[in-house]
Structure 1
Amino acid sequence: MENEVPLIKVTIDGQEIRVPVGSTIMEAARQIGPSVAPPAMCYYKPLQGSGGKCRACLVKVMAGSEKDPRPMPKLVASCITGAQDGMVVENFTNPEVVEARKGVVEFLLINHPLDCPVCDQAGECHLQDFAFENGVGEKRFVEEKRTFEPEDIGDKVQLHMNRCILCYRCVYTANQLTEKRVHGVMGRGDHAQISTYIKNSLESDFYGNVIDVCPVGALTDKTYRFKSRVWFSKPVDAHCDCDKCSGKVQIWYKGDEVIRVTARKNQWGEVEDFICNTCRFEKKKTSDWVIEGPSKIARNSVIAQNKYGLNQGKKPEYALNYAATNFKKIDDSREYNQNLDQIKKSEDYKALMQKNDKFFSKEKSLK
C-alpha cells in the first residue's frame, strides 16, 4: 500500500529487528524485549517530549548505518537517537556502557536519601530496580546531601523533593493532561527543585497522574501513605463507566479494603490510559468497580512474592548476566577427587593438615 511506512534494519546486542523509519533506538530495543531494552528513568513514551535528561539509557553505536558504518565517537541516549538502516548497537554487551551506567546510578543517588524503609514507592520504585541492576554496592560522595521539607502541592498529593531525580515526567504530565500547569522546575543547578509558584496547588481533574508517572517516591498519594507495603497488597484489574476518563484502573487490596487506585501500566512501567481524580481518590469501594481479575505481575517482582508456589519465580536476567561477567568461571577440566578417601590421600590435603598442626601447636605454646 502507498501509506505503508518503510522498514529499516537495526541490530542490538546481536539481535536483529526491523522497525519503521523514524523509530528511536529505544523503541527498536523494546520491540525485541527486556533482554536488550535499555533502562529509562525520564523517558515515558505516552508523554510527548520526554527523554534525554537522565542518561540512564546510554548505548554504544558501533555502526551508524549501512551507508556510513563508522561508529559514533561517544555514547548516545537511546531514547532520543533515531535508528538508521543497518545500525549496529551494543547495550548490555558493551563494557563501556556498563561502566557509564554505574556512573549514572551514582549521580542519581548523590542526593537521594535512604528512605526505602519508609517510602511508599518501595517495591515498585524504578530507581531501586535501576540501582540494583546497574549500580555498585558502595558510594564515594562524602558531602552533605541537599534537603527539603515535604510540601503539599494539592489536597491529595505530597511532594518529597529529597527523593526527586528531576526527570520532568510530572511536568510533562501536567502540561499535556491539564489546562493550567502551576508546578515546574524552580531554581538552577543544585538548587533546582520541583515546586509550585507561591505555593499554588494542583487543582485539575487529572493532576493525580503525576503520582503514577513519578519513577521514585517524590510524589505520593496522601490517601494511601503508610497504609501498606506493596508486597502485602493484592492488585486487581477493574473498570467503571466514567465520563472523564477510560475508567480502566488497577485496584490494590489489603484484605477486603481498597487501599488505593492507580492507572494500569505496561511492562515498561508506563501508563497508557490516564485516569481522573474521581476514579483515583474517591472510588474506594469494591461496589464502585467491575472486577476483571488479578493483575498480571512479573514473577521476579517483589509484588509477586508470597503469591505463587515455591520455585515458580523466574530468575532475573540481570542477575545471571552479572554472575557470568563478574564471577570467576569454574574450570571443569581440572582434576578432582570424587570421595573422601581420595581427598585424604592427595598431596594438597596432607599439606593442609600439616599447616593446621603447626598452627594449633603454636596456639597451645602461647597459652
Structure 2
Amino acid sequence: MEEVKPQLIKITFDGIEVEVAPGTTIMQAARKIAEADESQAGLVPPAMCYYKPLPSSGGKCRACLVRVAQGSAKDPRPMPKLVPSCITQVQEGMVVENTTNDAVLETRKSIVEFLLINHPLDCPICDQAGECHLQDFAFEHGSAKTRYEEERRTFDKIDIGPNIQLHMTRCILCYRCVYTADQITNKREHGVMGRGDAAEISTYISNAIDNEFSGNVIDVCPVGALTDKTFRFKNRVWFSKPEDAHCECDKCSGKAIVWYRGDEVIRVTARKNVWGEVNEFICNTCRFDRKKTSDWVLEGPTKVKRSSVISANKYRANLVPKPDFAMKLAATQFKPIDDSRPYVTDTETIREQSIENNDKANHRSLLSQNN
C-alpha cells in the first residue's frame, strides 16, 4: 500500500516562503530556512530554554518572541501579542515577522536586560566564557546600558557531587538540566526548589548527583551555572583544540569531542549540532574518566563556526568574517575624530592641555550636580 505523505503547510517567515510538515513550530520552520541557506542563519530567533532533543522544553525565557502578522489564510487577523516561536505551531498561510519587526527587536533588548538583572558579570572567570549562549544573546540583541541599580540575587554554594559545580547565582532557570535528568536518566536527584525570586536549581536535602548520565546537564546549560569540575579554571576554550573522537562504550554511543591543551586532554564533551544542541548524550565514564589520547580514536578537528571565538588562532585572519553584531555595535558607537587638530608632541604642552581638559570636565560635573 502506498504511503500517504502529510500535506505540507506553507508559511512566510521574514518575507521568505517555506513549506513544513503539520505540527512544526515557527522556530523549527526558521531553522529549516537557515539549514537550506546558511546566509539566512541570522533570521533564526535566539533560544535560551528551547532544546530540540528535549521534548516539552521551551516557552520559559521568551527570548524567541516573534510577531505573527497573519494568523492563517482562513483567519488573516494578526495575533494580538508577540508569541514564543519555540512552542507556537505554524498554520497554513501564516505570516511571521522576526528581524523585520522593530517591536520584536526592542522586546529582545528588554529580555536581555531582564536576564542580566541577576546574572553576575563573571565572564572573565567563568569556564563557560567563549561558548556561552547568554553572551551571544547579549551581544546580538542586548543594550550597552542597564537601568537596574539594585543588588543582584545571590545564593549559597552547595556541593552537588564530585564532577559538577553548581553556581546558582548564574542560573537563568531555563529548566534544561531538569528536562535532561527527567528524560535521559532513570533517577533524578535535582529540580527547581522555591518560588518567585527564591526559585533555584538544587538537590533535595543536599543529595549528590551521581547518575551515570548526569554530566549531560553541563552540556545543555546555556550559561555557566553548571560546569565541569575536572575542567574548572584549566583553560579558555579559544586556547584549546577540539577534536572529534569515538571509543568503544557499552553505555553510550562513545562519540564525543576531546579538547586538547597541547598534548593533554583537558575535557570531553558531547558533540553538538549547528544550533549548539547535543546530538547524542554521553555517559560519565566517557566524559570524566577517559582523559588520555589512548582512550580515544581521533577522527579529525571539530568543525567550528569561523565566527565563533573558539576558532581564534585556528584560521587565517582573512578567513574569519566579523560577526554582524560587532559591526552593528561599532556603527552605533562610532565617534568621528577631528584630524584637523594639531599633532602635539611637546611634553609641556601635553601636560598643560591635560590640566585644562580636567578642569573642564570637573566644571561640567559640578554643573550637572547643581542642576
TM-score by length of 1: 0.87
Residue 310 in 1 paired to residue 311 in 2?
no
CA drift at 1:322: 6.4
Distance 1:327 1:268 in 2: 30
Equivalent residues in 2 for 1:140-159, closer than 5 Å: 140-159=147-166
Structure 2 gap ranges (5+): 35-40, 335-339, 341-355, 357-371
Shift of 1:316: 2.3
Q: Quick one: which amino acid aligns to residue 25 of structure 1? A: I
What letter matches 2:189 in structure 1?
Answer: V
- Corresponding residue of 2:16: 15
Residue 256 (structure 2) pairs with residue 255 (structure 1):
no
| Matching residue's letter, 2:11 | V
Give the distance between the partners of 1:270 and 1:48, measured in 2 at CA: 13
Give a deviation string over 1:114-160, Cα, whole Å, max 9, x none. 10000000000000000000000011111111111332212100100
User: What is the aligned partner in structure 2 of residue 168 from structure 1?
Assistant: 175
| Correspondence for 2:208 | 201
Give the Å deviation of 1:205: 0.6
2:293 pairs with 1:286: yes
Among the aligned pairs, what percent are the same residue?
Answer: 70
Contact 1:150 1:158 survives alignment (8 Å): no
What residue in structure 2 maps to residue 218 of structure 1?
225
On the 8 A contact 1:247/1:279 being kept in 2, the answer is yes
- Match of 1:35, SS? helix
Matched letter for residue 246 of structure 1: S
Q: Provide, for residues 238-286 of structure 1, a one-character-per-residue CA deviation record: whole Å limited to 9, x for no partner.
A: 0011110010000000000000000001111000200000000000000
- How far does residue 323 in structure 1 lie from its aligned partner after superposition? 7.2
Pick one of 53, 68, 76 that aligns with 2:83.
76
Question: What's the counterpart of residue 136 of structure 1?
Answer: 143
Contiguous gaps of at least 5 residues in structure 1: 329-343, 345-362
How far residue 204 of structure 1 moved from its aligned partner, in angstroms, is 0.9
1:24 alignment counterpart: 25
Correspondence list, 1:309-348, <5 A: 309-319=316-326
Q: Is the 8 A contact 1:231 1:304 kept in 2?
A: yes
Residues 1:91 and 2:92 aligned together: no
Q: Separation in 2 of the partners of 1:327 and 1:157?
A: 40
Q: Could you list the per-position Cα deviations for residues 296-342 of structure 1 after superposition, in whole angstroms to 9, with x for gaps in the alignment? A: 00001000011111211123244456678x689xxxxxxxxxxxxxx
Which residue of structure 1 lines up, in the alignment, with residue 352 of structure 2? none
Determine the C-alpha separation between the residues in 1 that align with 2:148 and 2:329. 24
Q: Is 1:105 aligned to 2:106, yes or no?
A: no
Number of positions where the alignment pairs a residue of Structure 1 with one of Structure 2: 330
Higher-Rg structure is: 1
Counterpart of 2:42 in 1: which secondary structure? coil
Contact 1:233/1:253 (8 A) holds in 2: yes
Match of 1:125 among 113, 128, 132: 132
Alpha-carbon spacing, 1:279–1:3, altered in 2? closer, same or farther (3 Å): farther
Secondary structure, counterpart of 1:262 in structure 2: strand
RMSD over aligned Cα, in angstroms?
Answer: 1.8
The 8 Å contact of residues 192 and 202 in structure 2, kept in 1 or not, is answered as yes
Residues 66-120 of structure 1: CA distance to partner in whole angstroms, max 9, x if unpaired? 1111111100000000011111101111000000000000000000001000000
1:48-87 pair list within 5 angstroms: 48-87=55-94
Q: Does 1:277 align with 2:284?
A: yes
AA matched with 1:135: G
- SS of the equivalent of 1:104 reads helix
Instruction: Give the Cα separation in 1 of the matches to 2:301 and 2:7.
Output: 39
| Cross-structure match for 1:358 | none
What secondary structure is seen at the aligned counterpart in 1 of 2:113? helix
Q: Is the 8 A contact 1:40 1:57 kept in 2?
A: yes
> Is the Cα–Cα contact under 8 Å of residues 106 and 139 in structure 1 kept in the other structure?
yes
Aligned AA (1:40):
A
